Amino acid sequence: MDGITEIFYYISLIAERNNVRNIRELDGLWMHKVDEDWEFRVNGHDEEIDGIPPYHALIIHKGLPAGLVSPFCNLCDVKGAGY
């Protein structure tokens, strides 16, 4: 886990368990629904996609933004999320 945040480490484990490789090579975001309440969207590209900065993951709870994380920042700002 050296060099990346704990949250991104767990996202990478979920990706691995779902046979997701090279998110950068996907046409857009990699989206994963954890359960009926939680999901996340990962941008593995050099440019912003759907408002998600490069190399960040948007965490969504019950359809609303709950957090924005990167490999280097456990909780970054989410516009309009009230942080």
User: Strand ranges (DSSP E) for the chain?
Assistant: 30-33, 38-43, 56-61, 64-70, 73-76
Q: Encode pLDDT of 32-50 as tens digits.
A: 999 999 999 999 999 999 9
Q: How high is the mean pLDDT of the chain? A: 86
What angle (nearest 5°) sits at the alpha carbon of residue 59, between those of residues 57 and 64? 135
Is the pTM value of this prediction over 0.95? no
Binned at pLDDT 50, 70 and 90, residue 82 comes out as very low
Q: Is the pLDDT of residue 19 over 50?
A: yes
Rounded CA-CA distance 67/19 in Å is 24
Q: Are strands 64-70 and 56-61 parallel, antiparallel or unpaired?
A: antiparallel
- Which has more pLDDT, 4 or 32? 32
Binned at pLDDT 50, 70 and 90, residue 72 comes out as confident
Among the listed residues 58, 59, 60, 49, the one whose alpha carbon sits nearest the alpha carbon of residue 26: 49
